[in-house]
Amino acid sequence: MNRRYYWTKTWGAPDIPEYDALALSHEGTRQRILGYIQPGDIIVYLTSDAKESDPMLRGRLAGAVEIADPVLEVDVEFLRPNEKRPPEHYRDGDGRFRWPYGIAVSRTWVFIEQESNDTLIPDHADKRMQGAASIHEMRPEEIGRLMSLDVREQVKGGATAKLPFQGSLHRPWRQQAGMRKAANVNPGTHLYIAQIYDAHGLTFKVGSGKVADRVDELNRYRRLTQGEAKWSERSSSQFATVAGARAAEDFILFEAKKAGYGSDDHSEFLVGISSRDLNALYAKSIEIGLAVDAEETIV
């Protein structure tokens, strides 16, 4: 999919796709966007400095949405027919809903770290009022920064794992209709990162296999009843093949060790690496693993 990436300013994070849309104030703006927007395009939400904005997010990255396929117009006000909206969602003068003109979305995310808008879009303030009035194309370097940011996809009635944005894009969390088919997954197809924080600081362990079994094995000889720290899963992604998982693992370890983050204690341990750098490697490793999957599954 040839996605394109845009940003806009809102008062807060998006809701689940069933209850939300790319919401706009003017029909003319919606029609202009419909002239070029495509299914799968991503719009990142920066929280504006308006007094009505979510005070916990004001001036920070809020979330992102994916445009639905097919591209559809929706009436945003009535996406929640049985729920009363806050008074500030209506204009003071005429009482009209502020953002009635919507474009349907298929997936939504919230950012975990809630970093400053400046982190992702350094010149966003130059747009002034236009920042919230429409959507604005992102530059390649901004898209690169986006891919390493931690997000959680929003789904109705469920919880999803925290992943770098690029990893989450490759793992759409969509409930399928009908009876669930029996699983037929080869063992050892997970890429995982485990972590432990103790008196020596934060240590990461990168590996592939069945993630729950691997973390249990790491904790087998930890003296938990005596207060020793415990390994926990930080991130995991499942591939179609063992080769895909191993290729992803090898990439992270090779690049991290090349940058000086290897450990003399274990060939799969990393120390001193920042969460941002590790997220960037993890996101890229998913691309590599999926490419190997594709090669392995060609008949």
Domain presence at residue 272:
yes
Domain presence at residue 228:
yes
Contact criterion met (CB below 8 Å) for 289 and 282: no
- pLDDT averaged per 10 residues in sequence order, the chain, 299 residues: 86 85 88 94 82 58 92 83 66 72 92 81 71 82 89 81 82 49 56 87 90 86 81 89 91 94 89 92 92 78
Is 88 in the same domain as 164? yes
Residue 21: strand pairing partners: 104
Domain presence at residue 182:
no
Is 218 in the same domain as 150? no
Domain presence at residue 126:
yes
Is 134 in the same domain as 215? no
- What pLDDT is stored for residue 220 in this prediction? 84
- What pLDDT is stored for residue 182 in this prediction? 42
Is 42 in the same domain as 93? yes
Is 17 in the same domain as 111? yes
Pairwise CA distance, residues 58 & 79, whole Å: 25
Is 211 in the same domain as 163? no
Domain presence at residue 22:
yes
- What pLDDT is stored for residue 205 in this prediction? 94
- What pLDDT is stored for residue 137 in this prediction? 92
Q: Which of 137, 169, 201 is the last residue of a domain?
A: 169
Helices 242-258 & 275-297, crossing angle to 10 degrees? 150
Q: Which of 105, 140, 169 is the last residue of a domain?
A: 169
**Which CATH number does the domain housing residue 155 bear?**
3.10.590
- What pLDDT is stored for residue 70 in this prediction? 92
Total number of domains in the chain: 2
Domain presence at residue 177:
no
- What pLDDT is stored for residue 270 in this prediction? 94
Is 94 in the same domain as 26? yes
Is 136 in the same domain as 198? no
- What pLDDT is stored for residue 201 in this prediction? 84
Is 215 in the same domain as 93? no
Q: Containing domain of residue 14, as a range?
A: 5-169
Is 12 in the same domain as 115? yes
